[in-house]
Chain A
Amino acid sequence: AQSVTQLDSQVPVFEEAPVELRCNYSSSVSVYLFWYVQYPNQGLQLLLKYLSGSTLVKGINGFEAEFNKSQTSFHLRKPSVHISDTAEYFCAVRRGGATNKLIFGTGTLLAVQP
Chain B
Amino acid sequence: EAQVTQNPRYLITVTGKKLTVTCSQNMNHEYMSWYRQDPGLGLRQIYYSMNVEVTDKGDVPEGYKVSRKEKRNFPLILESPSPNQTSLYFCASSLGQGEAKNIQYFGAGTRLSVL
Contacts and interface: CB of A to CB of B under 8 A. Distances in A.
A49 B105 CA distance: 13
B75 interface: no
A44 B90 contact: yes
B43 to A, nearest CB: 4
B42 A100 contact: no
Given A42-B108, A43-B108, A101-B58, A52 B99 contact: yes
Q: Bin chain A's interface residue count.
A: 20 to 34
B81 interface: no
Contact of A43 (B42, B50, B100, B107): B107
Give the size range of B's interface with the partner: 20 to 34
Contacts of B4: 43
A104 to B, nearest CB: 4
Contacts of A74: none
B82 interface: no
B24 to A, nearest CB: 14
A9 B40 CA distance: 8
Given A90-B43, A106-B40, A45 B97 contact: no
A98 B97 contact: yes
B31 interface: yes
A111 B63 CA distance: 35
Interface of A: 4, 6, 9, 32, 36, 42-46, 49, 51-52, 90, 92, 94, 96, 98, 100-102, 104-107
10 contacts: A4-B42, A6-B42, A36-B106, A43-B4, A52-B99, A90-B42, A100-B33, A100-B104, A105-B42, A106-B41
